[in-house]
Chain A
Amino acid sequence: MKNNRILKEKIIFSFIKMAAFFSAITLVLIIGYVFIRGFKVISWQFLFQEVQQRDITKGGILQAIIGTIYLGIGTFFIAVPAGISSAIFLNEYIPDTKTSRVIRVAIRNLAGVPSIVYGLFGLAVFVQFFNLKTSLLSAILTLSSMTLPWIITASEESLKAVPFEFREAALAMGATNWQTIKKIVIPHSLPGMITGSILGLSRALGETAPIILVGATFYCRSLPTSVFDKFMALPYHLFILATQHAHPQAHEYALGTAIVLITIIYLMSLTAILIRYHLRKKKNA
């Protein structure tokens, strides 16, 4: 009887250990594959020169890098304020009403909509209805709509984590709702909101499907000069190189592009961690 229990323990433990290792190994394999195969093409030329359409080995991917960065900055400044404000409205002003429940269910479902469908939505609404054409702006708005539910959900979670006693204490001293939010609730939940936002944003920047439909293009002669220009982006560049390009070295250049994309996204995650660390330290000083 006793041996049986111990045996069971061992089996279960080795199983969950295997599962944990499996995820770690998957990550190592992906990164390893991408870096080993793509590392050769990384150079100053690759990072800082414009794409040569005739021969991809003669130029870089500057337009795609800048396009993705513009996309990230634009989405950050639209989706983060909108997402955090929505979360505050839902959680602080109408925490448990029919309206808030309906909105919340809508947001949960929105988070599950496939990204290509956001592309179709962006095409119909921003490109056609608002007549923004296929442009950087349309893509920023499309990615903003896509990240919004993630940002709202993450922000709501960190707002919920603010202890009720803090709000109660502030209100009992005669603070208005907004003063309580500004002085107590937001400072307490900001690290979580920023982290959630940046992680949502970094996921969005890796998306290919939605931006193809609303403004990304495989080749631009120059960098976008206004938000109404078409633009290049890393994931789409990668996709074309990997699937539709005739150059014999296209696959390596696709993996090189992947390294740049992964690095940008990891740098963003790192920023999120640093911001959270910094704000926590400030809070506990």
Chain B
Amino acid sequence: MPKKIIKTENLNLWFANKKILKEINLEIVENKITAIIGPSGCGKSTFVRTLNRMNDLIPSCRITGNVHYKGKNIFSPETDVTNLRQNIGQVFQKPNPFPKSIFDNIAFGPRLYGEKNKDKLKNIVEESLEKVGLWKEVKNDLAKNALSLSGGQQQRLCLARTLATKPKVILMDEPCSALDPLSTAKIEDLMQNLKDITIVIVTHNMQQATRVSHFTGFFLMGKLIEFGETKDIFTKPQNKKTEDYISGKFG
């Protein structure tokens, strides 16, 4: 039995009076890649943003049901949400480096948790940039503004910035949709190399889901229609709607 790191139970979510997620029961397997696919507006982004409680930022958001991270309910009053977000990092659709130097971007997370030692910070920066294959490209420009990098480099920088916080899980919300195919391939390679991190990736791109993920969940109109191993979902879907979607009949 593979270990489950995140578990949702009867998760419902509303923005004001609009119901976005309906009775989601889903389990994320530790250290594997889970893809969330589905047409626009099906609630897949909202779903991943629930897992690190980023929906807390939206005042009209209301949630029922439970989400467990390592067996603990993330909505319970004892949960320290900053701690949760340190463990469950996120990479956004649009690269969003801070308008600071490359070094300060990567060191941002460790500094948040109180790391002041310059040598340690240097090591973390090098290690994180090395993991995303940026170190060689930027090692002489660490003081340069991160916004001077190309879009693909910026997205890898954002991934490195998240890795520097040593997360157990990384949520990726269509991380490649603003990137060219070459940069996309690089990000996908990186995902494969992060063997000791659980990844949940939202994607529009079904080829991407088949390329990178071990498990796939198909969302439609706020419901989880089907969930299973990626190869099963794409070769022998159980549900007619899943079959229609992956064969391109809608979406």
- Cβ of B89 within 8 Å of any chain A Cβ, yes or no, is yes
Question: What is the size category of the interface that chain B forms with chain A?
Answer: 20 to 34
Q: Report the minimum CB–CB distance from A92 to chain B (whole Å).
A: 12
Contact with B along A162-178 (1 / 0, CB 8 A): 01011011111111100
B98–A166 CB distance below 8 A:
yes
Partner of B112, one of A166, A175, A283: A175
Q: Is A99 an interface residue (CB 8 A)?
A: no
Contact flags B35-55 to A (C-beta < 8 A → 1, else 0): 000000000000000001010
CB <8 Å contact, B94 and A96: no
In the complex, B193 has a CB within 8 A of chain A: no
- A244 at interface, CB cutoff 8 A: no
- CB-defined contacts of B161 to chain A, threshold 8 Å: 169, 173
CA distance A163 to B162 in the complex (A): 19
Binding site for B on A (CB under 8 A): 96, 163, 165-166, 168-176, 179, 183-184, 188, 283-285
With the chains together, A184 CA to B161 CA distance in Å? Answer: 15
B92→A174 contact, CB < 8 A: no
A284 contact from B59, B90, B99, B143, Cβ within 8 A: B99
Given contacts A165-B92, A165-B94, A283-B99, contact A172 B52 (CB under 8 A): yes
Residues of B within 8 A of A174 (CB): 82-86, 109, 112-113, 165
**Residue numbers in B under 8 Å from A284 (CB-CB):** 99, 145
Given A168-B54, A172-B90, A173-B89: 14 more A-B contacts, CB < 8 Å: A96-B59, A165-B94, A166-B98, A168-B57, A169-B97, A173-B108, A173-B109, A173-B161, A173-B165, A174-B165, A179-B112, A283-B99, A284-B99, A285-B145
Most buried by A among B96, B97, B158: B96
Q: Are B99 and A169 interface neighbours, CB within 8 A?
A: no
Which residues of A sit under 8 angstroms from B108, Cβ to Cβ? 170, 173, 183
Between-chain CB contacts (< 8 Å), 6 pairs? A166-B96, A169-B97, A173-B109, A174-B84, A188-B99, A285-B143
A173 contacts which of B86, B99, B143, B145 (Cβ < 8 Å)? Answer: B86
Residue pair B99, A168 in contact (C-beta under 8 Å): no
The one of A163, A166, A172, A183 in contact with B85, judged by C-beta atoms closer than 8 angstroms, is A172
